[in-house]
Amino acid sequence: MSSRPTPSRRPLSGEGPVILHSATDPRWLPLALEHFDAVLVDHAHCEKKAAANALSLLQAYPDLPGLPAQMARLAREESAHLARVLDLMEARGLTLTKDAGDPYAQGLQKLVRTPAAERRTDRLLVAAIIEARSCERLSLLAEGLTDPALARFYGELAQSEDGHQSLFFRLAVTASGGDDAPVRERMEWMLDHEARVLEDIGVRAAIH
């Protein structure tokens, strides 16, 4: 029998359109707080890849209405978040290690279809789901950290991620011709698989 948490339709990621199907394992937050330095390093890599992904989407889909300007702004915002995380790391005497890869993001990338139109929609939905999960995890950190400045910082980041998941969902709908029904259906299928990806990875001292 699977030990996956019971699916929840509660808006774990905020009030945006991506409602996660499973809550983060309750063991994650104590582990993340105990190994917060490792989480910080992983967080820096996440912000770096978020900025790079925004520029990659801009490069791949410059003709999608609204995407170029939005991705340019998003890359700038994620780069600013990266700089703030790097400042926190420096203050704690940490250095950025080589990126070992993210099995969570890699698992979601396997869901992306090959045909060009479907691939565009799926890439945007994967980005939305990653932002939604990040929002949930950063919110948990904001609630669990005892340092007021750190808690405030992670609360601000969680709000940003909530806006990002909504942005990516809207762009996915635009990419699919403006009808959100098939996009939501596809997203629900992907969210079922996202819950399984998390279960397979297990509890890690990382953002995902």
DSSP string of 111-168, one letter each residue:
T--SSHHHHHHHHHHHHHHHHHHHHHHHHHHHHH--SHHHHHHHHHHHHHHHHHHHHH
Which whole number is the average pLDDT over 12-38? 88
Say whether pLDDT at 1 is over 50.
no
Cα 121 from Cα 32, distance rounded (Å): 32
Say whether pLDDT at 3 is over 80.
no
Please report the pLDDT score of residue 16 as a whole number. 66
How much of the chain is helix, strand and coil, in % rounded to 5?
70, 0, 30
Say whether pLDDT at 90 is over 50.
yes
Mean pLDDT of the chain: 93
For the chain, give the percent of residues with pLDDT over 90: 91
Which whole number is the average pLDDT over 3-29? 68
Report DSSP state, residue 98: P
Q: In this predicted model, what pLDDT tens digit does every residue of 174-192 receive, in sequence order?
A: 999 999 999 999 999 999 9
Both tokens of 101, joined, read 């890869």
Cα 133 from Cα 161, distance rounded (Å): 9
Which pLDDT band holds residue 17 (cuts at 50, 70, 90)?
confident
Q: In this predicted model, what pLDDT tens digit does every residue of 93-132 receive, in sequence order?
A: 999 999 988 999 999 999 999 999 999 999 999 999 999 9
For the chain, give the percent of residues with pLDDT over 70: 92
Say whether pLDDT at 142 is over 60.
yes
Q: In this predicted model, what pLDDT tens digit does every residue of 37-69 receive, in sequence order?
A: 999 999 999 999 999 999 999 999 999 999 999
Which whole number is the average pLDDT over 1-14? 39
Please report the pLDDT score of residue 2 as a whole number. 38
Q: In this predicted model, what pLDDT tens digit does every residue of 155-167 receive, in sequence order?
A: 999 999 999 999 9
pTM, rounded to two decimals: 0.92
Please report the pLDDT score of residue 15 as a whole number. 55
